[in-house]
C-alpha cells in the first residue's frame, strides 16, 4: 500500500468518524417519529392548503419561541398569566388561533363566562342598588331600596355613578369586583391556593348578585353566546347550579326557570346565528354542601333530564376540591343515579398527591364519568391513566385556570404536556374565563399551544383538539354530525384565510 | 307489613352488594397504585414497621398542617425561604440518621458550603480581584491572568476593611446562591444560571490551587459520611491544578490528586466504601476539544481503573451544544461509560429536550436529571427497558428555576411508575443544602405521595447502590454493608429521640 492510498484511507476514516451512522439516525428518527405519531394530532393528515397554512403557523411559532429560548428572562409563559395577558394579542400565532374554529367549549361555569368589562355595562340597567362593604359588593335590582341585609347601606348605582364626578373611574373601581385580575401588579406567585379561592368566590358572588335578575340574565346570556361565537365556538356545555332568578317586584322563579331561559335565549341567538349548534347543561352542586343537599340536586338533575332530555347533559360537583367533600361522601347517591344521568365529574384538581381530592380520580373513573374535569393529578397515577385511555374518558384541561387558581406557576410544568405526548383524549377548555377576563377559549388554546405543547406541535394538534371537543361532547350522533359539518366548513374557510393573508406572509416584516 | 319487608330486603341486599363491590374495586385500585410505586412491592419487618409508624405519624402531621394552611406550606415556596426550618422537622431528623446509600450526581466544586471558602481566603499568597464575579488566585507574585479590576493581596484588602466581620459576611455572599428574597433576585432561569456560573468562576481559583484541592475533596467526603452516605460518584471538569510559582498541571494530575485524597480518607475512615470519578467537562466545546477530552478520559480509565466511573458533559443544557452534535465521536467512545446530563429543561421539543433521545441511544448507564422525561412516553419505555438510572435532583431543579412548587416536579411521576430513580443533590454547597438529607426530605414529603413510606425511602437508598458504577462484586458487598447499617438504624430506632 503506497502512502497516498494510506493517507486517503486515513482521511476517509476521519471523515467517517464525524458522520452519524445510518443505523443510529434511523433508530433516532424512529423514536422521534413514534412520539410524534403518538401525540395528540399525530395521526391527522393535512391537505395541500392545510400544509401551507401550517407552514405559516409554524414559521411564526418558531419565530416567537426561539426569541424566548434565547431570552428566557422574557419568556412569558413561565410567569403569571396576568403579567403577559395584554401582550398576547400582539402574537401572530394568537391571531391565527383566534380566527381558527375551535369546536366546542365543554368545561365552563355558567356565571363566570363573561368578562368584567361587559359586566360593568350591565350595571347601567335601571333600578340597580349596590351595597358596599369593605372589600365586597352586593348588587340588587329593586324598585325601592332593597329590604335586604347590608352592613352599610343600599345606594342606587346610577346615583353613585353620577355623584362620583368621574363615571369612568367609578366603573373601573366597580370592575375590580368582577375579576381576579386587578391589574395592580401584585405577584400572584405569592398567593396561596386558599386565598386565591377566597378571592375567586368573592368575584363569583359579586357577579352572581348582578345576574340573578331575570332581565339582566337574559342579556348576560345573549352577550356570552355572542362572545363565544365570535371566538369561533359553535357549541357549549355549561355547568350550572340553576339558581333562582328574580323580577323587579321581587317575584322569585323556580330553578327550572333558568333552564328555560337558557333554552329560550339560545334559540333566539340561533335565529340570527344559524350555524351555532346550541347549549347543554351539566347540573352542578357545590361539593361543600351536605349529602342531603347534593342528593336533592342530583334528583333535580334526573327529573330535568326526563323533562328536557336535549338540554341536560349530566351532573357534576364543583368548588375547591382540596377542602370540599370527596366523592366517596356521596357514593351511595351517585352510584344509584348512575343509570339515569351521565357524570362529568371534577376530579384531581389538586397539586397534592395521595389526598382525598387526589383519590377523587379513582371514584370518577369507577362511577363511569364520561369526562373528567381537570384531572390535573392524573399523570401521577399510572393505572388510572391507563384506565382513562382504555375507557376513552376525555380530560377537560383548563391551563389558565390552573395557573390562576394556584396549581402551577410555569405552564411548561403543566401535566397537559404529558397528556398531549401520550395522545390522551384531551379537550381544552377555559373553566371561568370571565373571572380572569380571558377570551372565551383562544387564550387557553394559545397558552397550551405555545407554552405547554412540544415545540414541534403544529396545526394537526390544534385541529385534533378542536375535533376532540366534538367527539367528546354530550351531543348525540346527529348533533355531532351537524357540529362537525359546521366545523369543517369553517375550518376550510379559515385555512384559505390564513394562506391568503398578506399580513402573515413574512416573519421579517412585523 | 311482612311482605313489604320481604320486598325491600332484596333491593337493600343488591345495593349492599354493589356497594361492597365498589369499595373492593376501589381499594384494589388504590392499593395497586401504591404497590406499583417505587418500593411499594417490598415488605417491612416488625422493627421496620415501628420505624415506619413513627415516620408516617410525623409525615402526616407535617403534611396535614400544610394542607390546612397552604399559606404556610413551606415546600410550595422557594427552598431559600424554608431551608432553615427543615431542620426542625422530625421527618427530616429521621431521614438524616437513616443510611441513604450513595450520592451519584454531584459536582465537585459545589459540595461544601460558603464558610469553607471564606476560611480559604485567610491563606497566604492569595490575590483577589473584585470583578463581576469576584476572582481569586494564589501566587507568589501578582497574577497575570486577566480580571476586570486589579489583583490585590487578600490580606491587605481585609486589613484595610473597617469591619472584618462585615467584610467576611459580604465575601461569603459570593460563595452561595442563598439570599433572603430569591423570587426577586432570581426572576428567571437566566439570572439564576448567571449567578450560578459566577459562583464557579469565584471558587475556581481557590479550589484548583493544588494543596487545597486534595484537602477539599477529603473534607467533602467527611461531610458525605456524616450525612450517612457510604459511597460517592463525583462529577468533575478536572480543573488544571496550579502552584504558587505558576506551575500548571494537566488533568491527569487532578485525577491523581483525587485518588490520593480518596485513599487517605479510606485509611482514616475504613467504614466508607469509596468514591469514583465521572469526568464531566463542559458541553460548550467544539469537536476537536471533545476529542482531547475523550483521550483524557481513556487515559484515566486505563491508568486509574478503580477511580474512573465514566464520562459526561456539563453546563446549562439549553445554552450548550446538544449531544447530537457529538454523536459520531461519542459512538466511538462507548467504552468510556456514559452518564449524560439530559433533559434538564422545561423546553419541550427543543434540542435540549431531545438530548434524552441521544442519551438513551448512546447507551448511557444513567441519565442526569431527565427532568423532561415525563413528556416522552417512548423514551420512558426505553429507560425502563434498558434499566437506565435517572439521577433526580429536586432542590437543584427548584433553585435553578425549572420548577417552583415541588409538587409539580416530575419525580412524582417517576416514583409512581417505579422508574429506576436515584435521588441526588447536584450542587448542595452552592445553595447550602445537606449533602443529601435535604433532597431526600423534600422528595419524600413534598414530591412523593402522602402515602409513600419507609419502603420508598429504603428503595431509593438501595437504588443508589444498584445503579452505581461499582463492579458487580463490590456492589454485592456494598448492598450487604448497607443492609447491616440499615438493620442497625432500625434496631436502635427510638421514636422519642426525634
Looking at residues A352-372, what average pLDDT do you find?
Answer: 96
A 205-224 near B (Cβ less than 8 A): none
Give the Cα separation of A208 and A213 in Å (integer): 9
Give the Cα separation of B415 and B456 in Å (integer): 9
In chain A, residues with a C-beta closer than 8 Å to the C-beta of B405 are 351, 408-409
Looking at residues B202-210, what average pLDDT do you find?
Answer: 97
Contact yes or no for A28 and B357 at CB 8 A: yes
A133 touches chain B (CB under 8 A): no
B354 touches chain A (CB under 8 A): yes
Active-site residue set of A: 349, 374
Predicted complex ipTM: 0.92
How many inter-chain contacts (A to B, CB under 8 Å) are there?
164
A247: left (phi over 0), alpha (psi -120 to 50) or beta: beta
> pLDDT at position A68, please?
83
Looking at residues A176-187, what average pLDDT do you find?
Answer: 85
A17 touches chain B (CB under 8 A): yes
Q: Which helix (H) or strand (E) holds B308?
A: strand B308-311
Looking at residues B153-163, what average pLDDT do you find?
Answer: 96
B 417-456 near A (Cβ less than 8 A): 417, 447-452
> pLDDT at position A9, please?
53
Q: Is the pLDDT higher at B2 or at B328?
A: B328
pLDDT at residue B187 is higher than 80: yes
The proportion of chain B whose per-residue pLDDT surpasses 90, expressed as a percent, equals: 91
pTM: 0.94
In chain A, residues with a C-beta closer than 8 Å to the C-beta of B328 are 17-21
B 118-177 near A (Cβ less than 8 A): none
Give the Cα separation of A421 and A31 in Å (integer): 13
pLDDT at residue A183 is higher than 80: no
A321 touches chain B (CB under 8 A): no
Looking at residues B168-183, what average pLDDT do you find?
Answer: 96
Model confidence pLDDT, tens digit, residues B78-91: 999 999 999 999 99
Q: Cβ atoms within 10 A of the Cβ of A433, count?
A: 29
B22 touches chain A (CB under 8 A): yes
Catalytic-role residue among B48, B214, B344, B432: B344
A 375-404 near B (Cβ less than 8 A): 379-384
Give the Cα separation of B422 and B355 in Å (integer): 20
Non-local (6+) Cβ contacts of A194 within 8 A are A320, A323, B70, B71
- Pairing state of beta strands B389-392 and B421-423? parallel
> pLDDT at position B18, please?
60
Contact yes or no for A18 and B187 at CB 8 A: no
Catalytic-role residue among B369, B376, B391, B432: B369
> pLDDT at position A14, please?
52
In chain B, residues with a C-beta closer than 8 Å to the C-beta of A365 are 29
Looking at residues B178-191, what average pLDDT do you find?
Answer: 93
Could you say which of A28, A38, A72 has the minimum Cβ distance to residue B361? A28
* Min Cα–Cα distance to chain B from A68, Å: 10
Whose cell is 359588593? That residue is A137
A 254-293 near B (Cβ less than 8 A): none
pLDDT at residue A93 is higher than 90: yes
> pLDDT at position B5, please?
41
Would you place residue B423 in the very low, low, confident or very high pLDDT band (cuts 50, 70, 90)?
very high
Strand partners, B192: none
Peptide bond connecting A375 to the previous residue in cis, omega within 30 degrees of 0: no
Could you say which of A193, A379, A457 has the minimum Cβ distance to residue B374? A379
Strand partners, A371: A344, A394
* Min Cα–Cα distance to chain A from B496, Å: 27
- Is residue A111 a contact partner of residue A204, using CB atoms and an 8 Å limit? yes
* Min Cα–Cα distance to chain B from A349, Å: 13
Could you say which of B67, B332, B447 has the minimum Cβ distance to residue A355? B67
> pLDDT at position B10, please?
41
Model confidence pLDDT, tens digit, residues B236-273: 999 999 999 999 999 999 999 999 999 999 999 999 99
Contact yes or no for A351 and B405 at CB 8 A: yes
B49 touches chain A (CB under 8 A): no
Contact yes or no for A35 and B350 at CB 8 A: no
Contact yes or no for B190 and A72 at CB 8 A: yes
Give the Cα separation of B367 and A217 in Å (integer): 57
* Min Cα–Cα distance to chain A from B447, Å: 8
Looking at residues A388-395, what average pLDDT do you find?
Answer: 97
For the residues of A87-154, what is the DSSP string, one character each? Answer: GGGG-HHHHHHHHS---EEEEEEGGG-S-HHHHHHHTTSTTEEEEEETTEEEEEE-SSS--S--SS-E
Contact yes or no for A382 and B33 at CB 8 A: yes
Contact yes or no for B22 and A331 at CB 8 A: yes
* Min Cα–Cα distance to chain B from A449, Å: 11
- Pairing state of beta strands A394-397 and A104-109? unpaired
B65 touches chain A (CB under 8 A): no
In chain B, residues with a C-beta closer than 8 Å to the C-beta of A193 are 70
Strand segments (E) across A327-459: 344-347, 371-374, 394-397, 426-428
Amino acid at each position: 500500500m503506497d502512502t497516498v492510498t494510506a493517507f486517503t484511507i486515513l482521511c476517509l476514516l476521519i471523515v467517517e468518524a464525524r458522520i452519524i451512522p445510518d443505523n443510529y439516525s434511523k433508530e433516532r428518527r424512529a423514536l422521534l417519529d413514534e412520539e410524534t405519531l403518538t401525540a395528540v394530532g399525530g395521526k391527522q393528515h393535512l391537505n395541500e392548503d392545510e400544509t401551507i397554512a401550517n407552514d405559516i403557523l409554524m414559521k411564526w411559532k418558531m419565530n416567537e419561541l426561539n426569541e424566548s429560548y434565547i431570552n428566557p428572562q422574557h419568556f412569558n409563559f413561565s410567569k403569571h398569566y396576568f403579567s403577559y395577558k395584554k401582550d398576547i394579542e400582539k402574537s401572530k400565532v394568537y391571531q391565527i388561533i383566534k380566527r381558527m374554529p375551535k369546536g366546542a367549549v365543554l368545561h365552563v361555569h355558567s356565571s363566570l363566562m363573561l368578562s368584567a368589562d361587559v359586566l360593568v355595562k350591565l350595571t347601567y340597567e335601571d333600578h340597580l342598588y349596590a351595597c358596599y362593604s369593605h372589600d365586597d359588593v352586593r348588587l340588587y335590582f329593586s324598585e325601592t331600596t332593597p329590604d335586604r341585609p347590608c352592613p352599610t347601606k343600599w345606594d342606587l348605582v346610577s346615583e353613585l355613578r353620577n355623584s362620583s364626578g368621574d363615571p369612568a373611574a367609578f366603573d373601573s373601581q366597580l370592575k375590580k369586583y368582577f375579576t381576579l385580575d386587578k391589574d395592580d401588579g401584585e405577584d400572584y406567585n405569592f398567593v396561596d391556593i386558599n386565598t386565591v379561592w377566597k378571592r375567586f368566590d368573592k368575584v363569583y358572588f359579586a357577579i352572581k348578585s348582578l345576574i340573578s335578575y331575570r332581565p339582566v340574565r337574559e342579556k348576560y346570556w345573549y352577550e356570552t353566546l355572542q362572545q363565544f361565537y365570535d371566538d369561533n365556538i359553535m357549541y357549549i356545555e355549561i355547568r350550572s347550579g340553576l339558581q333562582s332568578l328574580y323580577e323587579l317586584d321581587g317575584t322569585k322563579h323556580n330553578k327550572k326557570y333558568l333552564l328555560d331561559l337558557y333554552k329560550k335565549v339560545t334559540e333566539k341567538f340561533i335565529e340570527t346565528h344559524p350555524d351555532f349548534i346550541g347549549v347543554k347543561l351539566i347540573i352542578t352542586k357545590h361539593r361543600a354542601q351536605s349529602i342531603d343537599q347534593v342528593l336533592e340536586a342530583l334528583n333535580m338533575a334526573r327529573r330535568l333530564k326526563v323533562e328536557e332530555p336535549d338540554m341536560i347533559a349530566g351532573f357534576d360537583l364543583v368548588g375547591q376540591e382540596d377542602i370540599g367533600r370527596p366523592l366517596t361522601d356521596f357514593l351511595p347517591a351517585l352510584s344509584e343515579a348512575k343509570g339515569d344521568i351521565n357524570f362529568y365529574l371534577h376530579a384531581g384538581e389538586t397539586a397534592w398527591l395521595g389526598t382525598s381530592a387526589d383519590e377523587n380520580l379513582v371514584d370518577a373513573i369507577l362511577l363511569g364519568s364520561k369526562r373528567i374535569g381537570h384531572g390535573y393529578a392524573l399523570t401521577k397515577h399510572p393505572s388510572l391513566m391507563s384506565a382513562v385511555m382504555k375507557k376513552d374518558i376525555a380530560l377537560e384541561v383548563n391551563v389558565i385556570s390552573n395557573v390562576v387558581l394556584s396549581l402551577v406557576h410555569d405552564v411548561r410544568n403543566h401535566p397537559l404536556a404529558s397528556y398531549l405526548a401520550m395522545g390522551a383524549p384531551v379537550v381544552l377548555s377555559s373553566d371561568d374565563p370571565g373571572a380572569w377576563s380571558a377570551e372565551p377559549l383562544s387564550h387557553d388554546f394559545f397558552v397550551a399551544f405555545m407554552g405547554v405543547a412540544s415545540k414541534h406541535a403544529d396545526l394537526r394538534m390544534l385541529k385534533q383538539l378542536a375535533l376532540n371537543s366534538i367527539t367528546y361532547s354530550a351531543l348525540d350522533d346527529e348533533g355531532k354530525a351537524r357540529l362537525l359539518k359546521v366545523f369543517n366548513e369553517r375550518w376550510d374557510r379559515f385555512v384559505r384565510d390564513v394562506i391568503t393573508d398578506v399580513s402573515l406572509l413574512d416573519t421579517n416584516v412585523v | 307489613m311482612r311482605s313489604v319487608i320481604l320486598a325491600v330486603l332484596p333491593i337493600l341486599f343488591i345495593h349492599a352488594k354493589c356497594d361492597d363491590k365498589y369499595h373492593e374495586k376501589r381499594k384494589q385500585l388504590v392499593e395497586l397504585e401504591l404497590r406499583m410505586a417505587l418500593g411499594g412491592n417490598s415488605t417491612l419487618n416488625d422493627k421496620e414497621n415501628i420505624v415506619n409508624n413513627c415516620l408516617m405519624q410525623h409525615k402526616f402531621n407535617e403534611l396535614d398542617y400544610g394542607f390546612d394552611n397552604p399559606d404556610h406550606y413551606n415546600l410550595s415556596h422557594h427552598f431559600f425561604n424554608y431551608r432553615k426550618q427543615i431542620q426542625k422537622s422530625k421527618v427530616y431528623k429521621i431521614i438524616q440518621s437513616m443510611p441513604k446509600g450513595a450520592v451519584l450526581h454531584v459536582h465537585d466544586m459545589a459540595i461544601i458550603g460558603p464558610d469553607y471558602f471564606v476560611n480559604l481566603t485567610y491563606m497566604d499568597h492569595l490575590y483577589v480581584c473584585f470583578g463581576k464575579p469576584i476572582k481569586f488566585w494564589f501566587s507568589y507574585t501578582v497574577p497575570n491572568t486577566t480580571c476586570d479590576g486589579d489583583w490585590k493581596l487578600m490580606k491587605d484588602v481585609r486589613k484595610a476593611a473597617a469591619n472584618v466581620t462585615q467584610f467576611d459576611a459580604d465575601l461569603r455572599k459570593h460563595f452561595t446562591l442563598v439570599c433572603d428574597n430569591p423570587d426577586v433576585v432570581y426572576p428567571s432561569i437566566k439570572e439564576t444560571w448567571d449567578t450560578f456560573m459566577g459562583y464557579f468562576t469565584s471558587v475556581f481559583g481557590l479550589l484548583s490551587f493544588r494543596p487545597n484541592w486534595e484537602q477539599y475533596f477529603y473534607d467533602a467526603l467527611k461531610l458525605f459520611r456524616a450525612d450517612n452516605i457510604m459511597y460517592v460518584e463525583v462529577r468533575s471538569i478536572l480543573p488544571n491544578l496550579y502552584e504558587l510559582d505558576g506551575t500548571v498541571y494537566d488533568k491527569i494530575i487532578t485525577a491523581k490528586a483525587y485518588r490520593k485524597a480518596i485513599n487517605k480518607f479510606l485509611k482514616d475512615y475504613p467504614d466508607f466504601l469509596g468514591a469514583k470519578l465521572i469526568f464531566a467537562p463542559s458541553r460548550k466545546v467544539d469537536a476537536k476539544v471533545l476529542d482531547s477530552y475523550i483521550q483524557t478520559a481513556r487515559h484515566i480509565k486505563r491508568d486509574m481503573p478503580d477511580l474512573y466511573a465514566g464520562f459526561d458533559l456539563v453546563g446549562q443544557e439549553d445554552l450548550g451544544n446538544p449531544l447530537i452534535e457529538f454523536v459520531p465521536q461519542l459512538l466511538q467512545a462507548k467504552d468510556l461509560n456514559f452518564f449524560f446530563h439530559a433533559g434538564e429543561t422545561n423546553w419541550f421539543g427543543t434540542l435540549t429536550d431531545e438530548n434524552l433521545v441521544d442519551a438513551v441511544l448512546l447507551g448511557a448507564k444513567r441519565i442526569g436529571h431527565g427532568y423532561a422525561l415525563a413528556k416522552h412516553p417512548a423514551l420512558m419505555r426505553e429507560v425502563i427497558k434498558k434499566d437506565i438510572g435517572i439521577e433526580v435532583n429536586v432542590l437543584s431543579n427548584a433553585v435553578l428555576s425549572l420548577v417552583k412548587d415541588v409538587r409539580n416536579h416530575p419525580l412524582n411521576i417517576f416514583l409512581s411508575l417505579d422508574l429506576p430513580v436515584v435521588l441526588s443533590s447536584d450542587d448542595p454547597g452552592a445553595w447550602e443544602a445537606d449533602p443529601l438529607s435535604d433532597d431526600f426530605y423534600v422528595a419524600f414529603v413534598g414530591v412523593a405521595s402522602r402515602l409513600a413510606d419507609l419502603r420508598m425511602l429504603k428503595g431509593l437508598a438501595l437504588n443508589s447502590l444498584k445503579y452505581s458504577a461499582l463492579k458487580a462484586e463490590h456492589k454485592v458487598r456494598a448492598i450487604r454493608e448497607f443492609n447491616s447499617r440499615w438493620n442497625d438504624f432500625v434496631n436502635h430506632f427510638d421514636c422519642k429521640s426525634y
